[in-house]
Amino acid sequence: MKTHYILLSLFLNIILFANISAQGCLDAAIYMGTGSDNMYAFRGDATSVMAWGANSFSAPNDFNDTFLGIEGWDHIDAALEPGNNTILLFSGTEVAFLSKSNNTVLVDPAPMTNYYNFLPAHFQEGLDAAFAWPNGDLQNVFFFKGNEWLRFDWDHATNSISNFDGPHTGSWDGVFTQYFTDGVDAAVYYDETNKVYFFRGNQYIRYDASSGQMDAGYPLPFTDNWGNYPADWSCIDAFNNGDCNIGYQLPDDACGPSSSLDFIVTDAPGTAMGSDVVLSGVALYLEHTYVSDLVISLISPSGQEVLLSSLNGSSGDNYGSSCTSPTYFEDGATTPIHSGVAPFAGPYSPQEQLSSFNDGASPNGKWRLQMCDTEDQDVGILQYVELFFSPQVGIEAVEDIHNEMSIYPSPNNGNFTLEWKGAPLKEAMISVLDMTGKTIYKTPAQAYTHQPINLDNAPNGVYLVQMRTPDRILSKKIVIQQ
């Protein structure tokens, strides 16, 4: 019998808001121009005014109380100020024109196609970001959708559009090719310095419009550098960087975008899944008070979905014991996750193979961890998730799904035994790599069936143990806990 909690409905409302707003620090932003020196920042159904010079945010208010005449909208996707005392707000497929003087609607919200019928169909379904910068009598207007962008000129004196260009990918000096490869949450132009600010998750990049280059030292964490960012707008660093204590709260009895974490991979050691790179493991620390409520799956940038665990662990608590002692999903682990016992610390084989991601698509881009809670009353918080990739080089690298090679104990303190089946091996080399791909230990295999390994000085973490023979490589992960 599951435990009932007092005031559950109140708590559920709180965590649902946290999930809706946890995909990025900003949904949209617009700088109101010289004179006001204010930027309106949008998040969910609220807006906050940031005094740019003071780098200080106001307390958030319902944006329908600030921008009059757009009742019925519950979020803002993009905003821009194209001149002529006008601001544009976009929500879903609609756009509204408002007076910059009093934030009151000039033209009621209407489909974007009424004004921008030249847009590609997927742009008409909703924008991710927009901004405009001046170019003589014209405004260069930029729209962003996913990893694509387009540009056109707007003559605000005649309200005419010309010189449509795009959509494009890339450019912007690496903003979209090196860092924000899946697109941006918001973009804003600051005319005092001729800079463009691109936002994604808890990261932002400053781009110099004069030189056409990113400023050095970016990306930077947004909430560490932008004043008193509203506490109610808690946001996470949505990058595959191994951060602990993410604090991503799952809604109770829900499945879908509100119970999913999107995060960005930018530096996988290859470009084609299954060809020159593989997903070798998924580390997870998820606090939950009744883990058999959960169905956990991972979705790749190409849309391939793999079920990691479904309704396992009975009434136990948690996946993993801590960020340094997580559940580690890997193909070929000795214990299937459905046979494990919460908190599942250590290596487990997922319910579907990670090798299903080997579809030739790029590993870089937006991955989604979907955590469906199938019952009410119990709640969870995701504290850590990290994807580990391994390069495919030279001869075939084989995840040891037939258990030809075993390692015990695992987890261990750096001292373990490697054992293999069959005849004594010759011309075989044993290597241990950290998760950056650096070899930290290497020794020839002895001419018998097991061999002790000593890694006393290895830091806690996940490592790849490989046995390389003349025709292939066998590999297994281990977790070291000193």
pLDDT per position as a tens digit, 445-459: 876 678 899 998 888
Looking at residue 470, what is its pLDDT? Answer: 64
What CATH number matches the domain at 248-391, 3.40.50.1820, 2.60.120.260, 3.40.720.10, 1.10.3720.10? 2.60.120.260
Looking at residue 234, what is its pLDDT? Answer: 59
For the record, the structure tokens of 36 come out as 């006001």
* Domain parsing of the chain, residue ranges: 23-233, 248-391, 397-480
What is the C-alpha separation between 20 and 258, in angstroms, rounded? 6
Taken in order 90, 94, 100, 105, is the CA torsion positive or negative? negative
Which residues are registered as beta bridge partners of 134? Answer: 139
pLDDT in tens, 304-329: 999 999 999 999 999 999 988 999 99
Mean of the per-residue pLDDT values of the chain: 82
Q: Is the pLDDT of residue 384 over 50?
A: yes
Domains 23-233 and 397-480 equal at CATH topology level = no
pTM of the model: 0.52
For the record, the structure tokens of 139 come out as 């405004």
DSSP 178: I
CATH architecture group of domain 23-233: 4 Propeller (2.110)
Q: Is the pLDDT of residue 425 over 60?
A: no
Q: Give the best-scoring range by mean pLDDT among 18-27, 198-207, 254-263.
A: 198-207
Looking at residue 353, what is its pLDDT? Answer: 92
Give the mean pLDDT of 47-60: 85
Q: Please report, as a single letter, which amino acid is at residue 292.
A: S
Looking at residue 395, what is its pLDDT? Answer: 34
What is the C-alpha separation between 367 and 240, in angstroms, rounded? 9
pLDDT in tens, 78-119: 999 887 788 999 999 999 999 988 989 998 899 999 988 889
Q: Is the pLDDT of residue 346 over 50?
A: yes
Q: What is the DSSP string of 76-145?
A: --EEEEEETTEEEEEETTEEEEEETTT-BEEEEEEEGGGT-TTS-HHHHT--SEEEEEEETTEEEEEEEE
CA neighbor of 52 nearest in space, from 234, 233, 227, 230: 227
Q: Is the pLDDT of residue 5 over 60?
A: no
CA neighbor of 164 nearest in space, from 125, 114, 117: 117
Fold annotation for 397-480: Immunoglobulin-like (2.60.40)
Least confident of 205-209, 370-374, 421-425: 421-425
The contacts found for 157-164 with CB under 8 angstroms, 24 or more apart, are: 157/84, 159/84, 161/116, 161/118, 164/118
CA count, 13 A, side-chain hemisphere, 200: 27
